[in-house]
Structure 1
Amino acid sequence: MGDFNQVEFQSDKLSMNTRTISGAYDFNIWRITNQLVDIPFKGPRYTWCNNRKGVKRMYERIDRALGSKEWFSLFPNTEIKHYPIQISDHAPIELDLQLTKNNSQKPYKLDACVLSYDECVTLIKEIWQQRVWGTPTFRVARKLSRVRQQVKKWALDKRLEWKQKWDDFDDTLEKGMEVGIKDGNEELYTKANDEGRASRNFILGVKDPAGNWIYDYGQVGNMFYDTFFTLYNPELHVDNDTWRQLTDAFLRGFQKTVSSDDGDMLNRPYMAKEVRTAVFQMGSLKSSGPDDGGVDNDGDPLSPYLFVLCMEALSSNLLCAQNNGSLKEIRLCLGVEALSHLFFADDVVFFLHDNHNSTKSLRAILDKYCKVSGQVMNGDKSGILFSPNTMLTKA
């Protein structure tokens, strides 16, 4: 750790001079030979400035810390903190071992290649053929639990054998990298061990609305919570009685679109064959995750229908306003139906005349829809486009 006085990559240098970095080749050879990995940092990227003015000003990241595989095994969350360049031409850097980092326990993930082993497939079949007493749902849940436990145990036992094979592969790859660099290959690929790579898989810092960087682990989480709470909550929440009244009023214009036959088909009990078809339509390597109620929501066929029903209610209210004249639609060309809105997934396009009544009516419908459904319109992703014939005084 310290001032290496050497830039390793072009991204570590900011200047008008874009020529090849002198000394980078020898430095990379030295680092790879000693099996050292650059410790990740947070804060300003550059740690040195030549303090010149104009086009001669230069910034570089030459202060850094390198760690070995053994180091990352002991301190997998190690990181470097960069502070601003103030008094000296160098920025202070601080080594943080992150010994008290709050790491949540991650679920064990099974490699897809495990299922290509006949031994593993046989193990799963044997477990599934075991007799379990109880309701059908309980039997399936218990068998899935046994499969998960036994396959995990089998994979962990195999890991010792696989690790040796991967170590041999790493040694071969590392030697090939050294040969490639010595042969003049400009593309340098660095090898980071699993522990070092895992330390990068989290958010180091975020900017608050004032533009200040926040690095504290707890404050970063609060920042995300406050942002999404403000985005999806704000003042749209109403009490239950008011919500029921708004919902009843909003659904009065809901037009019947499902026939009696379709209704009977939707209300009939589902069959085992239908459940099997729905489950096996998911990808072979996909897994549905349980929500808070224990219901699998990945691949849930009801989700898109619920969203369509909400949008159908919005469409019905727009059509009612269109029919009573409070919302004036647009005819795109002669000989076609007038159009007031188009839906595509969660995107909506409205077509209105540039008059106060239409704008006011649309705004009132959207406000009611947001209060009833709990959805919020994203103003940052919304826009307005006027016809070239629109008068500015009118708009």
Structure 2
Amino acid sequence: MITEASNGFLWRFTGFYGHPKTHLREESWKLLSLLNSQFNIPWFCCGDFNEILSMNEKAGGVLRSQCQMDSFRQVVNLCGYKDLGYCGPDFTWCNMKEGCDRILLRLDRALATSNWLGHFKEVKVYHLVDTTSDHCILLTTNSSSPDCKRKRRFHFEAMWVKRKDCREIIQEAWNSGTFAATPEGVASNLQRCEVALTNWNQNVIYYNYG
């Protein structure tokens, strides 16, 4: 329960995680239904629901069960939620595989009731790609644009070595540096590789699912 210090506006925030096992996901919807019955105040809910509302929120893999999606939609309607939409990539999760095995889903979202949206009129949700995770970060803000300057820790993904262009990216970045024989040169070239691999992962690996 949150009370705005400036005007006393009272609202509720729920961080939600849908059950990862399909046959137990109904328990998640029952929990949301229970939470809905407890209070009647403006409500904001976001997180990884592990479910989609329509096939437009999925790319690759087999068709999603209509019954699964309908169950999610029913509880969304029951709670009086509106989807806040998003800016950025259409999907928030990727199975990190390639070719015909690649699957992308919009599992993460922000939902709110009409009376919450009536108070926070300028709110926007951004999908921010994080190279250290198979999920996007959800940034909810009333600012005009997200602050994306936060430095994130770099992780080398084992799946990258399966691609021939990964070696090419590393070689090109390393060879573009100088004084590689010194500790400073090695550190500089490693940083070049980090930047090149991060950009390659975001622009080629994450988005190239077609």
Same fold (TM over 0.5): no
Give the TM-score of the pair, scaled to structure 2: 0.44
More strand as a share of residues: 2
* Structure having the larger proportion of residues in helix: 1
Higher relative contact order (CA 8 A, sep 6+): 2
TM-score by length of 1: 0.24
